Amino acid sequence: MKSSHDVIKHMIRTEKGSDLLTQNKYLFKVDKRSNKIEVKKAVEEIYSVKVDKVHVMTVKGKKKRVRQKEGMTASWKKAIVTLNSESKIEVT
């Protein structure tokens, strides 16, 4: 069984993530093997909040080139977590 800190890697702080804060939604980078249920339990346990919805998506790696060598960046998974109207996570 995975711990909550194994499922949630970190909160993503980007422009899109900042725009979602106004809608009480938070953006997280999560483990590639985790599912919506595990993400919901982990966020509720770590931040002591009530989660309404979880949307999970896989971000495909991009092609990158350094001189003559071609490669790919790693694929990763992100989750958009919608909290209950009374719940809030303090973002510093």
CB 71 within 8 A of CB 65: yes
- Quote the CA–CA distance of 72 and 81 in Å, as a whole number: 28
Sketch out the chain's domains with CATH numbers: 4-83 (3.30.70.330)
Mean pLDDT of 1-19: 89
CB 71 within 8 A of CB 64: yes
DSSP 32: T
Task: Output the pLDDT for position 61.
Answer: 96
Whether 87 has a pLDDT exceeding 90, the answer reads no
32: closest CA among 48, 4, 12, 56?
Answer: 56
DSSP 53: E
Quickly count: other Cβ atoms within 10 Å of residue 22's Cβ: 7
Task: Output the pLDDT for position 1.
Answer: 64
For 26-81, the pLDDT digits (tens) are 999 999 999 999 999 999 999 999 999 999 999 999 999 999 999 999 999 999 99
Mean pLDDT of 13-20: 90
